[in-house]
Amino acid sequence: MYSTWRVCELKAELKKRGASLRGRKADLVESDDKKLDKAKSLYESRYLILARASTVGDSTFVKGYCKKTMRALQYEVDVKIHKNGTPQESHCECPAGSGIEAKCKHVAVLLTGIEHMVHHKIILLHQVSTQRLQTFHMPKTPFTASPIAAHKLPKKKKIVKSLVHTLFT
Mean pLDDT of 128-148: 79
More confident residue, 52 or 32: 52
User: Predicted confidence band at 134 (pLDDT cuts at 50, 70, 90)?
Assistant: confident
Q: Place 47 in a pLDDT band, splitting at 50, 70 and 90.
A: very high
CA distance linking residue 143 with residue 147, whole number of Å: 10
Q: Worst-scoring range by mean pLDDT, 38-42, 92-96, 104-108, 130-134?
A: 130-134
Asked if the model's pLDDT at residue 142 lies above 60, the reply is yes
Residue 82, classed as helix, strand or coil, is strand
What integer is the mean pLDDT of 98-115? 90
Cβ–Cβ under 8 Å, residues 39 and 108? yes
- pLDDT band for position 102 (50/70/90)? confident
* Higher-confidence position of 76 and 163: 76
Look at 22 and 89; give whichever has higher pLDDT.
89
The ranges assigned to domains in the chain are 2-129
Reply yes or no on whether the pLDDT at 60 is more than 70: yes
> What pLDDT is recorded for position 156?
72
Percent of the chain with pLDDT over 90: 35
Q: H or E segment at 74? A: strand 74-82
pTM: 0.63
